[in-house]
């Protein structure tokens, strides 16, 4: 197993697993959450999604586990294909696996020299290299501002265009080198992390995929079924929080004639669950995790 699951006990408890039920691990990764779910199941089935082919090599040997090599944005269609709607619970851990971060070839980490890739699914055509070298200044600025929450997005985009005008930017080191003038002294790591986050979200259409997944989750869950999501940055968490509370991504609460909220889910924890000090000490990558739980009405 190459990924230490964050908030493992809390997320499994949140699912309120019925031993004979049908569950979905929407982000299999290293298999930590799936393994824990299977321990509680007696019979039942578990569908595990992952678009990264490397995750398939980490498949647990268990007849109750059905691996799906696909993005979780296709949740509804896949489950219908298996004639297994509704399901009893769905779990999604939106973080990148430790394997992906620690493998220089994948280009996810600011710490390692590697190709500018960042594709979760390497069958996709567009990698971070194409984004950096082919996007217009305006489009780059939008990606950096909207997905990296970078206030100096214009300057960063201009630095990219200036550097690539001399020679293509092909590696993580070359990108960092080009952007060094925009990095605030003493906060370089945070700056590069925000840039890499922006590119990764764009390459993998992460926010669009998350929206599709959340909408489909409420369709395929049975009444009383649980939806459990662990997010790692404010953009993800806001989408999850707004959808759980209002049933839409604008956070607008619609009401019926009598003033009752029209929502598909009931929020179980008003305040997100975060890792304790002990867990953060053991797994620092989980420090920004936020766990939210909702139940299908």
Q: Are 210 and 239 in contact (CB under 8 A)?
A: yes
Q: Is residue 187 part of a domain?
A: yes
Band of pLDDT at residue 3, cut at 50, 70 and 90:
low
**170 lies in the same domain as 128:** yes
**117 lies in the same domain as 253:** no
Would you report the helix, strand and coil content of the chain in percent, each value rounded to 5?
A: 45, 15, 40
Q: How many domains does the chain have?
A: 2
pLDDT in tens, 133-156: 999 999 999 999 999 999 999 999
Give the pLDDT confidence score for residue 148 in this predicted structure: 98
**13 lies in the same domain as 141:** no
Residues 173-199 have a mean pLDDT of 97
**17 lies in the same domain as 86:** yes
Any idea how long the chain is?
297
Q: Is residue 191 part of a domain?
A: yes
Q: Are 127 and 119 in contact (CB under 8 A)?
A: yes
**3-state SS assignment for residue 294:** strand
Residue written as token pair 């993580």: 172
The domain that holds 259 is classified in CATH as 3.40.50.150
**230 lies in the same domain as 272:** yes
**184 lies in the same domain as 215:** no
Domain boundary residue, one of 184, 204, 224 = 204
**45 lies in the same domain as 178:** no
Band of pLDDT at residue 98, cut at 50, 70 and 90:
confident
Q: Are 179 and 110 in contact (CB under 8 A)?
A: no
**164 lies in the same domain as 240:** no
Q: How is residue 294 written in tokens?
A: 């909702």
Q: Is residue 236 part of a domain?
A: yes
Q: Are 208 and 185 in contact (CB under 8 A)?
A: no
**72 lies in the same domain as 210:** yes
Give the helix ranges, DSSP H, for 105-205. Answer: 128-134, 137-148, 153-166, 172-179, 188-204
Give the pLDDT confidence score for residue 284 in this predicted structure: 86
**213 lies in the same domain as 94:** yes
Give the pLDDT confidence score for residue 174 in this predicted structure: 98
**223 lies in the same domain as 287:** yes
Give the pLDDT confidence score for residue 1 in this predicted structure: 42
pLDDT above 80 for 264: yes
Give the pLDDT confidence score for residue 2 in this predicted structure: 43
Give the pairing of strands 22-25 and 87-93: parallel
CA atoms of 90 and 97, how far apart (whole Å): 19
Q: Is residue 160 part of a domain?
A: yes
**154 lies in the same domain as 183:** yes
Q: How is residue 169 written in tokens?
A: 């930017």
Q: Is residue 106 part of a domain?
A: no
Q: What is the mean pLDDT of the chain?
A: 95
Q: Is residue 217 part of a domain?
A: yes
Band of pLDDT at residue 96, cut at 50, 70 and 90:
confident
The domain that holds 130 is classified in CATH as 1.10.150.170
Least confident of 45-59, 143-157, 186-200, 223-237: 45-59
Give the pLDDT confidence score for residue 91 in this predicted structure: 98
Domain boundary residue, one of 204, 239, 263 = 204
Give the pLDDT confidence score for residue 203 in this predicted structure: 98
Tell me the residue range of the domain where 171 lies.
112-204
Q: Is residue 105 part of a domain?
A: no
Give the pLDDT confidence score for residue 86 in this predicted structure: 98
pLDDT above 90 for 97: no
Q: Are 118 and 200 in contact (CB under 8 A)?
A: yes
CB-count exposure of residue 243 (10 Å: 0-12, 13-18, 19+): buried
Q: Is residue 1 part of a domain?
A: no
Domain boundary residue, one of 204, 229, 263 = 204
């Amino acid at each position: 197993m190459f990924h230490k699951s964050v908030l493992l006990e809390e997320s499994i408890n949140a699912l309120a697993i019925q031993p004979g039920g049908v569950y979905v691990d929407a982000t299999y990764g290293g298999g930590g959450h799936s393994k824990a779910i299977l321990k509680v199941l007696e019979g039942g089935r578990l569908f595990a999604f992952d678009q990264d082919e490397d995750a398939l090599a980490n498949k647990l040997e268990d007849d109750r586990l059905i691996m799906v090599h696909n993005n979780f944005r296709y949740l509804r269609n896949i489950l219908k294909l298996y004639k297994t709607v509704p399901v009893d619970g769905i779990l999604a851990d939106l973080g990148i696996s430790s394997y992906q971060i620690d493998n220089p070839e994948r280009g996810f980490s600011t710490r390692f020299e590697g190709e500018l890739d960042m594709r979760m699914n390497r069958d996709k055509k567009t990698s971070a290299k194409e984004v950096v070298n082919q996007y217009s200044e305006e489009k780059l600025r939008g990606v950096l501002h909207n997905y990296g929450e970078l206030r100096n997005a214009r300057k960063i985009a201009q630095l990219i265009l200036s550097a690539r005008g001399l020679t293509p930017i092909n590696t993580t080191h070359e990108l960092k080198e080009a952007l060094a003038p925009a990095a605030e002294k003493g906060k370089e790591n945070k700056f590069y992390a925000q840039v890499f986050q922006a590119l990764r979200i764009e390459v993998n259409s992460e926010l669009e995929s998350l929206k599709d997944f959340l909408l489909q989750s409420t369709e395929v869950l049975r009444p009383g079924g649980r939806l459990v999501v662990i997010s790692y940055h404010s953009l993800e968490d806001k989408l999850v929080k707004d959808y759980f509370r209002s049933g839409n991504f604008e956070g607008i609460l619609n009401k019926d004639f009598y003033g009752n909220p029209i929502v598909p889910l009931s929020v179980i924890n008003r305040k997100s669950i975060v890792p304790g000090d002990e867990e953060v000490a053991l797994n620092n990558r989980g420090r920004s995790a936020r766990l939210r739980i909702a139940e299908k009405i």
